[in-house]
Chains A and B, each alone.
Chain A
Amino acid sequence: MLVFAASDKGGTGRSVTSSNVAYRRALAGDDVCYLDFDFGSPTAAAVFDVPGASRGVASAGLHSHLQGRHTEPHRIDVWAESEHDELRYRPTGSGRLVLLPGDRDGGEFAIGKDTVRRCVNLFLQLESEFDVVVVDLSAGRSYAVDMVLEATAQPELQGVLSRWLVFHRWTHQHVIAAHGLVFGERGIVAGGVERGHDKGALRDSIRFVRAAVPDPESPLWSHVPLAQSEWMRKCDRDLTELAAELELGYARLLGKIPLEPVLQWREQLITDEDVLASKVAGMATRQALEELAAALVDDEAWERQ
């Protein structure tokens, strides 16, 4: 399965949340591969705590692979190379967790026929090796988004299951922006149709994920004055309404990750150690990530219209 992680803006939580989902799929036993297609800011390796690659690798990253400068894109075995204490040993029963980092000196680039061909080859190869292939895409209707829309429209990829996760924060502007990214005139659906995708099928393969959602009921806010608490509840209700109007409502919602203080401070994977032993991260966050990772591969969650 190919999973494309998109967002209209940077800083939404796309990389951190999708990395955590990749990690949880691997814990569940899937062989997982994570591709850093955020060519402008390839930081996925930092989330996985891989030394020397936190801002991308010096050579043979995905960027130079897609441009034909390196036949073999660099692969990082996260279980073997991560410096994170909890990641260094592969838990029994878990699957592989492999990261294909970007290049340090990347940047967006124009897409030619050859780039698309290399991209198709890469997807086909990884899909035949891994259960889940997560592709972290540059924000907005970027070159990266265009390239994967083009690639997935090719006949060779018709037999391959593709799913899109669109990440957004839980604010008025972010909800509107996420709607625009998917359904707007220059959105993913329109761009896909232009490239030969079936409109209905493409729409049905897109789900939204709300990241860093403040929960008015959370103990974090238990000491705020009543008026403020009332106000937060009202905002939440209004946003829920707005989301429903803009087709980001329940039917297209795949997951909701609470605002997590640990992630506020540091881009990282939330391990069970963080939650259960040292208790620095919230149980609710772990639970939400776990549910999102399960929903990703749950066909029923993708059949809701």
Chain B
Amino acid sequence: MAPPDRDRRPILCGEVRTSVLRTSEALTARTAAQLLNLRPDEHVLLSERPNLRVASPQLLTGVDCRLPSLNGSRPRAVGTVAARAVLTEGRVLQASAFARLVPGGGDHRKPWGHYLLRPGVVEPLGRHQDGEFTEGFLAAAPLPGGVLNPGAVAERLLDEVLRHRLLDQRAPFKSGRTRLRWVALPAAGDGVTSIERFTVAADGLRTVALRVAPADPSAVAALCEDLALHDWLLTTLVALVERSRLGSGDREAVLTALRPVVDHLLHLWMPGARVPDVLSGVWETLERRPGFSRQWQALVQRIRDQVALQTVSLPRPVLADS
């Protein structure tokens, strides 16, 4: 039998969208803070170690929606989705939105004041099954209209920031956006954090299912932002190396194509840098298999070898030492 609602630990769900910042030069800490100053009454968060990361204040979006499910039951839920924008090294922009599904919301919708006191909490009205929700939420297809959709909240935020007047809309290289949709269920028993699923669907959607030790919801969301950031970096690097036709004849063309990679991407790889210890098990698993860093390092080595070869064979270096 399922435990009574009040004994269930809430599950978290969210989505992260990651894009290059469309600007020819990476933003400094100061301009980044201006860009992400999305609420006049609150400050941006700025951290410079081990790399520059600026985060906007948290924004809330009220939702009165259905919970996704595969069997079509779709119970109603009311509350707020929390979102923020994060900029890493003035170059990679992410919008991240999440909600905590807290059972026991009763059968009827309460006044908004109730929900505003619980930022980032969505209360299902009536009963729902965590398993049903998880499967429905992580299903690869786009979520149907009217359903809880942190991705749509994140997308709006991302577009809004990307249109800011501070940006000249000239990115140094072509790259796509990635979407990473995630749920975090409470870890059973000893409460060790682990990753149960990391898949890439045909339409590019990444889905992640975590089991997490008791932790601050925003720390779990930050872990997912970190996963999404590195997944985007790897995806983008693979695509750029492929486009450069590394290994084909024309060395100089290859180097021209790789130059923005060297200038703007290679220094961004720092998996787990800000992930608290209770959640770090996730990165350890991913590093064992599929081995994100191994693939990244291998690509970086290939690029550096090309640069080195070229510098040797040309009268003057095409690329500065990097």
The answer to whether A and B belong to the same complex is: yes
- Chain A positions within 8 Å of B, measured between CB atoms, are 29, 31, 60, 69-72, 75, 93, 95, 120-121, 124-125, 128-131, 155-160
B225-261: CB near A (< 8 Å → 1, else 0) gives 0000000000000000001010010000000000000
A128 and B19 within 8 A (CB): yes
Of B20, B163, B165, which is within 8 A of A128 by CB?
B20
The CA of A128 and the CA of B175, in the complex, are separated in Å by 6
Count A-B pairs with CB separation below 8 Å.
Answer: 52
Q: Which 5 pairs, one residue from A and one from B, show the smallest C-beta to C-beta distance? A: A159-B169, A121-B159, A129-B176, A71-B152, A128-B171
Q: Is B203 at the interface (CB under 8 A from chain A)?
A: yes
For A29, list chain B residues within 8 Å (CB).
243
CB nearest neighbor in B for A95: B243
Known: A72-B142, A159-B168, A159-B169. 8 other contacts (CB 8 A): A93-B248, A121-B159, A128-B20, A128-B22, A128-B169, A130-B174, A156-B163, A156-B169
A129 and B142 within 8 A (CB): no
For B149, list chain A residues within 8 Å (CB).
71
Given that A129-B174, A131-B174 are contacting pairs, would A69 and B145 also be in contact in the complex, using a CB cutoff of 8 Å?
yes
The CA of A35 and the CA of B134, in the complex, are separated in Å by 34
Given that A71-B152, A71-B155 are contacting pairs, would A121 and B177 also be in contact in the complex, using a CB cutoff of 8 Å?
no
For A31, list chain B residues within 8 Å (CB).
174, 243
The CA of A31 and the CA of B244, in the complex, are separated in Å by 12
The CA of A72 and the CA of B203, in the complex, are separated in Å by 11
A127 to chain B, nearest CB (A): 8
For B245, list chain A residues within 8 Å (CB).
93
With most chain A CB atoms within 10 A of its CB, the pick from B152, B163, B165, B245 is: B163
A124 and B162 within 8 A (CB): yes
For B162, list chain A residues within 8 Å (CB).
121, 124-125
A121 and B163 within 8 A (CB): yes
A153 to chain B, nearest CB (A): 14
Q: Is B170 at the interface (CB under 8 A from chain A)?
A: yes
For B152, list chain A residues within 8 Å (CB).
71
A124 and B174 within 8 A (CB): no
- Chain B positions within 8 Å of A, measured between CB atoms, are 19-20, 22, 142, 145, 149, 151-152, 155, 159, 162-163, 165, 168-171, 174-177, 203, 243, 245, 248
The CA of A70 and the CA of B141, in the complex, are separated in Å by 12
CB nearest neighbor in A for B179: A72
B91 to chain A, nearest CB (A): 13
The CA of A130 and the CA of B175, in the complex, are separated in Å by 8
For A155, list chain B residues within 8 Å (CB).
165
B165 and A129 within 8 A (CB): no
B151 and A71 within 8 A (CB): yes
A120 and B163 within 8 A (CB): yes
CB nearest neighbor in B for A93: B245
B174 and A159 within 8 A (CB): no
CB nearest neighbor in B for A154: B163
CB nearest neighbor in A for B145: A69
With most chain B CB atoms within 10 A of its CB, the pick from A31, A129, A157 is: A129
B179 to chain A, nearest CB (A): 8
The CA of A156 and the CA of B163, in the complex, are separated in Å by 6
The CA of A159 and the CA of B168, in the complex, are separated in Å by 7
The CA of A125 and the CA of B151, in the complex, are separated in Å by 16
The CA of A138 and the CA of B55, in the complex, are separated in Å by 42
Given that A72-B142, A124-B169 are contacting pairs, would A129 and B175 also be in contact in the complex, using a CB cutoff of 8 Å?
yes
The CA of A156 and the CA of B165, in the complex, are separated in Å by 7
CB nearest neighbor in A for B245: A93
With most chain A CB atoms within 10 A of its CB, the pick from B169, B245, B248 is: B169
CB nearest neighbor in B for A70: B142
A183 to chain B, nearest CB (A): 29
For B142, list chain A residues within 8 Å (CB).
60, 70-72
CB nearest neighbor in A for B163: A156
CB nearest neighbor in A for B22: A128
A124 and B163 within 8 A (CB): yes
B163 and A160 within 8 A (CB): no
A-B contact pairs, 14 of them (CB 8 A): A29-B243, A71-B151, A72-B142, A72-B155, A121-B159, A121-B162, A124-B22, A124-B162, A125-B177, A128-B19, A129-B177, A131-B174, A155-B165, A156-B169
With most chain B CB atoms within 10 A of its CB, the pick from A72, A95, A125, A128 is: A128
For A159, list chain B residues within 8 Å (CB).
168-170
